Structures are given as C-alpha cells and as structure tokens.
C-alpha cells in the first residue's frame, strides 16, 4: 500500500502505481515499464503536460530498482514521449501528435522466417559454418564501441579509407596488382560495380562484349543500363578477343583467372591481345575476379589488371564468396585517371555499401585473420572438390567431372548415356529430389548451347557431398534409360 493519500495523486499516478510487472517472463522489467507508460500516453490516460511521480516513489510503489525506472524513462525521452524540466521533474510532452494505439499484433515482433534450405549443389556460396564469428564480432565491437569521428559523420562515398588500404595491400600480395588505396572503391557487390562503370564511361546504346556462357546477373545489369550486349562464345581457353566482333565495342567483360561458369583460364597470349585491343580501340575491360584467391595448386595466377600499363582495366572483387554473402561488400580497382569520373557517378546515387561492416573488415584484414581464413578455406575447398570428384568417378557414362586447379564449383559435362536428355530437364528433376542443379545451358544465349551441370561444392560438408552425388547418379541413371 502507498503512504500517499488517494486524494493527493492523480488518476495517471494511480494507474502507474497499479501496474503489475511480470518477473517470470524473458522481457526485462524496464522494457515492460516503458511499454506500459507508452501505452498510457498513446491511449490518453496520460494527458500532455502530466507530471510523472518521482523515480524513487515509482520504484518503491512497483518494488523495482530506481535504475529500472530511470532506464524506462530515458527510453521514452529518447522516443519523444517524455521531457525533463530542470528542477521540476519529468512530464508528458505538450506537442505530442495524435497517435492511435497500435493493435497488439503490431506491437509484437514476429519471429524471423527460417532460411531457405541449402541443398546440394548450390554454387557460389562459401563455407558458411566456417565464418569466423567470434573474431568478426570482436572487430565489429571494437570499431563501434568508440567509433572514429569519420564513421559517425557523412561517409566517404568511395568507402572507408582504412579498408581500401587493406584491400590494396591484399591485392598486391595475392593478385600482383599494385594500386594505391585511393584507386579502390567500395561497392555493395559486383552488380553495382558494373553499373557504376557503365554509368561513368559508357552511354546507352554502346556495344559491350561479354563471354558466352556467362554470369547472368552481369548480363542483366548491362542490359538494364541500356548497353547492346554482344555474346562471344568461349572455348577451352576462354574468350579470344582476336575473333570476337569488336568493331565499335566500348567495353569487354572478362573472367580471365577462371571463366564463369566453364572454369577456363585465359592464357597469356589472349590476355595480351585483350589489352592491346583495349589500348588501340580506346575501350575498357572489366576483369571480374570472383574467386581468384581459391587456387589449390600453386599460387593464384596474376590478375589481368597487373599487366595493364595503359590504364584500361577495371578490376572487380567481392567478399560474398570469400567470407559471406550477408556482408554485401565488394570493390573495384580503377585506373587512376578514371577516379574523378567514378566519383561523379557515385555521387549521383550515393554509396550503396553500408559503412557499418567496413571498419570491422579493415581490422580483420589488418590483423592477419583474413589471410588465415583464406588459406584455411583453400585447403578445405580443395578437399571438398576431391570428395565430389571421387564420388562421381566411375560414372562417366552419365556425368564427367573434370579435375580443376581452382574455383568453387565443377562444370560437368553430361555423359554419352545422357544423349537426348536436356540439362534443364535434369535440373528440374533434381529439384524434386532435393538437389540444386544449375543447367549449363541457361548461362548461354546461343541457339545450341553446351550441355552440362554446374555443381557447387564449397558450402557442403563431405558427407553431404557424397550423399548428394549418390542421389544425382541415381537420378541420371533413371533419366538416361
């Protein structure tokens, strides 16, 4: 019971003192109190200008600590429901707009939906369970507990400079690219990189050379930008610029380290020819190096950009495949003379990459944790590729899995027993038995595209790969009868 006379307290105070807080729920007491106060204000039980009882009195009446009361009050002050008057107490604000109370179902936070099932052999995903969560959390907490003033102001649209410096150092060591940090531009991924370059240096209707087959989102991004896309078939050594329809072309998009999705590596002679064409034609090259770090025998091949002396190559990289697609961080390395135009193009739309993970990633790279993670994943992925190839060995009449020195997927051809069965038919049938099979033909725009399956292996443990391979073989044998 309260020692205060009932005649001396308002209806609002009486309602407050009558609150019942549940000590057996997971919801903290200060959150319960803040919700109750907010509800009273929204429903008009606390009129504008009404004074709250002193925090000590309210704490005593509700049998809770004064810290709990002050925490709840501070929250509602931050939300604009309450205000303090120096030496006079805490009051409901006068200029509170009319706000109808939210129905209870809108006040409850719905549970997060379950993620879609990850099924063999979905390509393009890293080993998600190997993400260094503890180390990442430490870098994230360190960078934002006491953030650098530049992080809380207007961010640099080109990206957080310490991260750009770490990327430049990484590319020098791993890919042979010598670039200043200022030449690195942080993006939300490869698609933004394509759009940024075309917006800065091309015009609608310009012709662009792309590989065929190729990464479909890249082709779609170029088409959205109004480019005229010319598909150039690749062979066992990638795209040959000397036989491509280059007349009038302003840009070529290449995956020289490992063609996507076939896995072909562009030899030195073809790299030199592509650079010579770009220099003579005043054209540009985008080098999409989506998984160049994952080479399992020997050092990663030098990037095409490392051979560029005329400043015609833009180099694209992404952390989605190196760490996690949830980061939504990528980068491009631009020739120095293109930076003013890139800055103007970036300013038109603003940066899409969140600044929040950038200082943490910079710290992770500077600590050596990033390089350690890449070396660990390179060993892990090499073993997983061996497991998948071993599981498919002996069934070459149905599927042929070639050895690969690098990458995150196998581009497999269908065997002779599958003659007459389209790869899209196999992919559709695989979905019914719990497999994610990408038909090679869907990456192409040719009238008679090559047939095969793109099998990702890096995201799956060895036992899952072996079980998936058995399911796939049984499916192929059924379809190939």
41-50, 150-159, 246-255, 428-437: least confident range: 41-50
User: Stretch 100-127: mean pLDDT, rounded?
Assistant: 80
Q: Is the pLDDT of residue 271 over 90?
A: yes
Q: How would CATH label the architecture of 379-480?
A: Alpha-Beta Complex (3.90)
pLDDT surpasses 80 at 63: yes
Q: Which sequence spans correspond to the domains of the chain?
A: 6-92, 131-371, 379-480
**What confidence tier does 1 reach under pLDDT thresholds 50, 70, 90?**
very low
| pLDDT for the residue numbered 42 | 81
**Count of residues for the chain?**
481
Q: What is the pLDDT of residue 106?
A: 61
More confident call, 451 vs 292: 451
Q: Is the pLDDT of residue 99 over 80?
A: no
Q: Which CATH architecture has domain 131-371?
A: 3-Layer(aba) Sandwich (3.40)
**344-348 contacts: CB < 8 A, separation 24 or more?**
344/200, 345/196, 345/199, 345/200, 346/157, 346/158, 346/185, 346/196, 347/157, 348/199
Lowest pLDDT segment from 154-158, 176-180, 463-467: 154-158
Please give the residue that has the higher pLDDT: either 105 or 211: 211
pLDDT mean across residues, the chain:
91
* More confident: 88 or 34: 34
Residue in this structure with the two tokens 């719990």, named with its chain if needed: 434
Q: Is the pLDDT of residue 3 over 50?
A: no
More confident residue, 25 or 419: 419
Q: Please determine, for residue 290, whether its predicted confidence score (pLDDT) is greater than 90.
A: no
Percent of the chain exceeding pLDDT 90 equals: 69
For residues 89 and 476, which has the higher predicted lDDT (pLDDT)?
A: 476
Half-sphere exposure of 254 (CA within 13 A, CB side): 31
**Domain 6-92 classified CATH 1.10.260.40?**
no
Q: 8-17, 99-108, 233-242, 434-443: which range is least confident on average? A: 99-108
pLDDT number for residue 10: 61
Q: Is the distance from CB of 460 to CB of 468 less than 8 angstroms?
A: yes
- Three-state SS at 216: helix
**Cα–Cα distance measured from residue 51 to residue 33, given in angstroms and rounded to the nearest whole number:** 16
- Mean pLDDT over 429-447 rounds to 96
| Per-residue confidence (pLDDT) for residue 380, from 0 to 100 | 96
Distance between CA atoms of residues 75 and 285, nearest Å: 53
Burial environment of residue 367 by CB neighbours within 10 A (0 to 12, 13 to 18, 19 or more): middle
pTM listed for this prediction: 0.79
What is the structure's pLDDT at 6? 43
Residue 131 clears pLDDT 50, i.e. is over it: yes
- 344: which 2 tokens? 């103007």
pLDDT-above-70 percentage for the chain: 95
**C-alpha distance from residue 403 to each of 128, 392, 458 (Å):** 24, 12, 15
**What was the pLDDT predicted at 98?**
63
Q: Helix count (H) and strand count (E) of the chain?
A: 16, 13
pLDDT at 4: 34
| pLDDT computed for residue 100 by the predictor | 62
pLDDT band at 113 (very low <50, low <70, confident <90, very high): confident
For residue 152, the model assigns a pLDDT of 86
Q: Which residues are registered as beta bridge partners of 286?
A: 253, 314
pLDDT digits (tens, 9 = 90+) for 370-396: 999 999 999 999 999 999 999 999 999
Q: Is residue 221 pLDDT above 60, yes or no? A: yes
pLDDT at 103 exceeding the cut of 70: no
Residue 325, classified by CB atoms within 10 Å of its CB into exposed (0-12), middle (13-18) or buried (19+), is middle
Q: With a cut of 90, say whether residue 27 has pLDDT above it.
A: no
Average pLDDT of span 200-205: 95
Answer with the residue of higher pLDDT: 293 or 329: 329
Q: Which position has the higher pLDDT, 229 or 102?
A: 229
């Amino acid at each position: 019971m309260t020692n205060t006379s009932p005649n001396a307290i308002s209806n609002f105070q009486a309602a407050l003192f009558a609150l019942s807080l549940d000590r057996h729920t997971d919801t903290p007491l200060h959150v319960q109190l803040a919700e109750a106060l907010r509800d009273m204000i929204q429903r008009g039980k606390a009129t504008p200008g009404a004074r709250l009882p002193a925090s000590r009195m309210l704490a005593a009446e509700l049998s809770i600590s004064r810290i709990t009361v002050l925490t709840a009050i501070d929250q509602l002050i931050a939300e604009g429901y309450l205000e303090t008057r120096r030496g006079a107490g805490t009051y409901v604000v006068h200029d509170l707009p009319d706000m109808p109370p939210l129905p209870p179902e809108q006040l409850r936070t719905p549970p997060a939906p379950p993620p879609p099932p990850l099924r063999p052999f979905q390509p393009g995903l890293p080993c998600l369970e190997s993400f260094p969560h503890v180390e990442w959390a430490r870098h994230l907490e360190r960078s934002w507990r006491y953030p650098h003033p530049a992080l809380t102001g207007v961010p640099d649209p080109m990206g957080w400079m310490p991260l750009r410096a770490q990327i430049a150092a990484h590319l020098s060591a791993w890919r042979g690219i010598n670039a200043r940090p200022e030449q690195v531009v942080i993006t939300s991924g490869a698609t933004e990189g394509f759009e940024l370059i075309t917006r800065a240096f091309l015009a609608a209707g310009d012709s662009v050379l792309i590989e065929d087959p190729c990464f479909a989102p890249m082709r779609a991004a170029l088409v959205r930008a109004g480019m005229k896309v010319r598909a150039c078939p690749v062979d066992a050594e990638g795209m040959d610029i000397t036989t491509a329809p280059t007349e009038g072309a302003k840009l070529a998009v290449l995956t020289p380290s490992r063609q996507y999705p076939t896995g072909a590596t562009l030899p030195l002679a073809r790299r030199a020819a592509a650079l010579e064409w770009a220099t003579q034609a005043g054209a540009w090259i985008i080098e999409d190096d989506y998984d160049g770090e994952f080479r399992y025998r020997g050092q990663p091949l030098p990037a095409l950009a490392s051979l560029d002396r005329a400043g015609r190559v833009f180099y694209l990289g992404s952390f989605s495949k190196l760490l996690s697609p949830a980061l939504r961080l990528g980068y491009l390395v631009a020739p120095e003379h293109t930076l003013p135009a890139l800055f103007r193009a970036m300013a038109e739309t603003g940066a899409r990459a969140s600044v929040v993970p950038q200082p943490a990633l910079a710290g992770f790279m500077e600590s050596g944790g990033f390089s350690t993670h890449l070396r660990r994943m390179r060993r892990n992925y090499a073993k997983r590729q061996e497991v998948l190839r071993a599981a498919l060995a002996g069934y070459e009449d149905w599927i042929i899995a070639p050895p690969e020195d690098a990458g995150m997927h196998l581009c497999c051809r269908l065997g002779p027993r599958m003659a007459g069965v389209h790869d899209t038919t196999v992919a559709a049938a695989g979905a019914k038995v719990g497999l994610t099979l990408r038909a090679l033909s869907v990456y192409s725009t040719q009238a008679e595209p090559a047939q095969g399956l793109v099998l990702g292996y890096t995201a799956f443990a060895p036992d899952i790969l072996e079980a998936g391979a058995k399911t796939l073989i049984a499916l192929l044998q059924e379809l190939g009868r």
